[in-house]
Amino acid sequence: MPGPTASRLILDELRGEVRLTRAELIERTGLSRSSVSGAVGELLSAGLVAEHTIQPAPDGRRPGRPVAGLSLTRAAGLVAAVEFGRDHMSVAVADMALRVLTERTVSIDAAGGKDVAGGRDGTDGRDAAGGRDAVLRAAEAQILSALTEVPEPQALLAVGMGLPAPILAADGSVVSGPVLHGWAGSRPAAELGDRLGLPVAIDNDANLGALAEARLGAGRGARDMLYLTISSGVGAGLVLDGRVHRGRHGVAGEIGHVPVAGAAGTGRACRCGGLRCLETLASTTAILEALEPSFGPLTVARLVTLASSESIVRRVLTDAGRAIGTVVGDLANTLDPAVIVLGGPLTEAARPLLTGLRESLDRRTQPGVGDAVRLVPAALGERAGVLGALIIAAETAAVLESGGEGNA
């Protein structure tokens, strides 16, 4: 049985990548230099692939002289993304090299379907299903409407969906829904796929954020990356060899309940029953509580503002960073990442957190691991989720092979 052609292998590698060099294509496909060169030539003349010059990066991440990067063109087809938050839905359409052609955010009530389901509160299964149905109908309408805004549109090949809830990788079902009431046990990607007649990939917002920061944001160029989110919980997204590592149950990187060695603890038990969980020391809840005696009740937004003027706020954030570094140091020793990206609502106040993290890493990691790893704040902000959903859509899509006319 003949294997896939060289062109097909190259198209598959380019899906969801901003661009790759010929050397990277040779490494990833295992094809010879001449096979890659010949197939790239055919794809360039078919108009499916375009060539750009990549300048050396000033920070030394891509040293040396300019090289030629290759990316898919719009003729290879389009992908769309829909990302649900508590009260909004973001929709984007992009080409397979992740150039966003149009995007929009509209408000919804994904949690209960209250507004879209006609004023009901969605407390029983039927109301919840009706609410979800209405939300997915709205998503379908937004995607189709966004497509009409794309000049010279090509075929839409796949959609990526992001949800603020754990997703079971095996069948795409929503595991539990503290945020999305009534969505637990449902398979929203399959439901939207049936509506659109297209493959729809799905993942949770943390994994999508990690993937987007690795491919397009602060971790760009790194194949191995840790993405930390510090919010009411503390979590890590693991990107290993360019892919999100989810683990068998989808809970890889759940570091919030790892006990912090040597920590005094707050004297109060974590919601899991543990006494020195990272979450009790470094979540936004813990940080806000530590600052309450000085400032009274605070919001995360106020905390971020105060971090620029109040040294006590920076000190508490640095302590939280040290606690995180205690756990992340062990993880870094094991996984040897090139970069650690700090995401979540404290990104704007990242500096003191990263200072504490760096101190702990320097103390706890093997020589050559901690000092070599780059620590950076996330770069994509609230767009990380929708961009991650575009990446999984592109990875799901089969590239059009005949310049947008035929099928794969």
Binding site for Zn ion (CB under 5 A): 257, 270, 272, 274, 277
Alpha carbon distance 172, 190 (integer Å): 8
CB of 129 to Zn ion, least distance (A): 33
CB of 378 to Zn ion, least distance (A): 24
> Reading across the β-sheet that carries 225-230, which strands appear in turn?
243-245, 234-240, 225-230, 339-343, 374-377
Alpha carbon distance 163, 321 (integer Å): 27
Q: Inter-axis angle of helices 311-335 and 284-295, to 10 degrees?
A: 160
CB of 184 to Zn ion, least distance (A): 22
Token pair listed for 395: 């990875």
User: What residues pair up with 377 in beta bridges, in sequence order?
Assistant: 342
CB of 255 to Zn ion, least distance (A): 10
CB of 271 to Zn ion, least distance (A): 6
Using only C-alpha atoms, the chain has a radius of gyration, in whole angstroms, of 23
CB of 265 to Zn ion, least distance (A): 11
Rank residues 1 and 264 by Cβ distance to Zn ion and give the closer one. 264
CB of 277 to Zn ion, least distance (A): 3
Rank residues 280 and 396 by Cβ distance to Zn ion and give the closer one. 280
Alpha carbon distance 253, 276 (integer Å): 18
CB of 226 to Zn ion, least distance (A): 20
Rank residues 246 and 276 by Cβ distance to Zn ion and give the closer one. 276
Instruction: Give me the residue label for tokens 């898919």.
Output: 72
Alpha carbon distance 156, 136 (integer Å): 18
3-state helix/strand/coil string of 47-67: CCEEEEEECCCCCCCCCCCCE
Rank residues 255 and 316 by Cβ distance to Zn ion and give the closer one. 255
CB of 275 to Zn ion, least distance (A): 9
Rank residues 65 and 268 by Cβ distance to Zn ion and give the closer one. 268
226's enclosing H/E stretch is strand 225-230
CB of 270 to Zn ion, least distance (A): 3
Q: What is the DSSP letter of 257?
A: T
Residues 6+ apart with CB under 8 A from 258: 277, 278, 327
Rank residues 251 and 408 by Cβ distance to Zn ion and give the closer one. 251
Alpha carbon distance 314, 322 (integer Å): 12
Rank residues 327 and 341 by Cβ distance to Zn ion and give the closer one. 327
Closest by CA to 51, choosing from 36, 41, 64, 61, is 41
Rank residues 128 and 206 by Cβ distance to Zn ion and give the closer one. 206
Cβ atoms 402, 46 nearer than 8 A: yes
Cβ atoms 54, 67 nearer than 8 A: yes
Rank residues 188 and 256 by Cβ distance to Zn ion and give the closer one. 256
Cβ atoms 159, 79 nearer than 8 A: yes
Token pair listed for 385: 């989720």
Rank residues 192 and 270 by Cβ distance to Zn ion and give the closer one. 270
